[in-house]
Amino acid sequence: MSKRTRNILIALAALLLLAVAIYQIPRVKAAVAWRVEKFTIYAKNTINPPGPVPTALPVTPQPATPTIIQTPTLVAEIAPTATATMIPLPAQFSIPSPAYEKQTANNCGPATLSMALHIYGWEGNQKDISDLIKPVTGDRNVNPEELRYYVRTQAGWLNLEYRVGGSIDQLKRLIAANYPVMVESVTSLDPNDALGPTDDLWAAHYLLLTGYDDNSQTFTIQDSYHGADLKIAYSKLEEEWKPFNNLYIVMYFPEFEEEMKTLLASNWDPNLNRQNALVASQADSAANPTDAFAWFNLGSNLVYFDRYEEAALAYDKAREIGLPLRMFRYQFGPFLSYFHSGRNEDLLVLTDYARGVTEMSEETWLWYGYGLYRNGDNEGALKAWQKADSINPKFFEDQAKNAISLVQ
């Protein structure tokens, strides 16, 4: 080897070591890691693109459509005031917008919660939130329970409640009482953020609603992905809200709890809220039998009441009609329904598909592990649960660590 060649190799090795050292700087790593990951995922999905959501395996016996039994009427612990839904609302209302916060990659939940908290005088930012509830940058999802956990442990002077089955009128009523509302809805991703060439670009996204206008039929939203003080039509929000069971999140000072009970009326009670949502989703799936999201919401509301076999049949129908490829990045009711109804192969097929779409999902790895465990594969289950724990070491209620204890 010539001296010149040796010097070139030494220089290249030195540059490589320097690049590795620079990459370890936290700010550099945070800025570069997700781009590297995105390139890797795109390349993998170009070679082996994910197909459509797999349909359910044959079930014996399997009725043509789910048979739904009406839920018994529940009695609310707190009787709402008779005037709760009778107070006329102003035609327009606006809450002063918080300082806008552009989300970092896959961080709309913490960014949106941060903007909402600023309205109540909080002085942190999205990183403060994500460091606690999604400490690994690649973690793709933040669920409402994790957001509530952050508020209760880090902003205990506020209460946070979330409900499902919301309506446009309910959102307006909360805003008109000076309560900004977070909703989980759908956004269309920038093609530059695609998972691969066959990506449908469908993704969940949190929005903060800070105003409404009946004349233009629009809400004012703070959108951490697209911009501040944007307008969205009532009809468009209804369409994009539906895939997430019309979930809404509201915060309030504890001294105003009675007012919040009045504003939510029967939906203040979580069980009655779910019963209301179940009745609505039953009617929706009957009226719109080709709407996959109507069936999916029906399944999710049945899961709440531990009616897993019925829920599994509703999810079967949603899968048969067709769902977006990222659906199981955000919602995990099907995993519970198939596990608890004894349909372990469906659980494994669906979690395996979900892992292929979103590798960094602790919930998917958790339930994939339970499927393996039920099949007697303790070693595979342990690896799956360890993967879940590595994605989110602070996994809500230590679910991964509790699962690991089953085989240790």
What three-state secondary structure class fits 73? Answer: coil
Task: Label residue 174 by pLDDT band (50, 70, 90).
Answer: very high
CA distances from 291 to 33, 40, 217, 279, 281 (A): 38, 34, 25, 16, 11
Nearest to 362 by CA among 400, 320, 315, 323: 400
For residue 27, is pLDDT > 90? no
Q: Which of 36-45, 321-330, 346-355 has the lowest mean pLDDT?
A: 36-45
Summarize pLDDT for 110-145 with one digit per residue, the tens: 999 999 999 999 999 999 999 999 988 778 899 999
Quote the CA–CA distance of 294 and 271 in Å, as a whole number: 20
pTM: 0.85
For residue 363, is pLDDT > 80? yes
Summarize pLDDT for 389-403 with one digit per residue, the tens: 999 887 767 888 888
Q: What is the mean pLDDT of the chain?
A: 88
Summarize pLDDT for 70-80 with one digit per residue, the tens: 444 443 333 33
Give every CB contact of residue 405 below 8 A, 6+ residues apart in sequence: none
Quote the CA–CA distance of 27 and 89 in Å, as a whole number: 47
Two structure tokens written together for 311 = 């829920």
For residue 167, is pLDDT > 70? yes
Quote the CA–CA distance of 349 and 330 in Å, as a whole number: 17
- Spell out the domain ranges in the chain: 3-47, 92-271
CATH assignment of 92-271, among 3.90.70.10, 3.40.190.10, 2.60.40.10, 3.40.50.460: 3.90.70.10
Two structure tokens written together for 392 = 């989110």
The answer to whether the CB of 90 falls within 8 A of the CB of 173 is no
| Paired strand residues for 84 | none
Task: Label residue 205 by pLDDT band (50, 70, 90).
Answer: very high
| Paired strand residues for 182 | 208, 249
Summarize pLDDT for 296-319 with one digit per residue, the tens: 999 999 999 999 999 999 999 999
**175, containing H or E segment:** helix 168-176
pLDDT of residue 287: 98
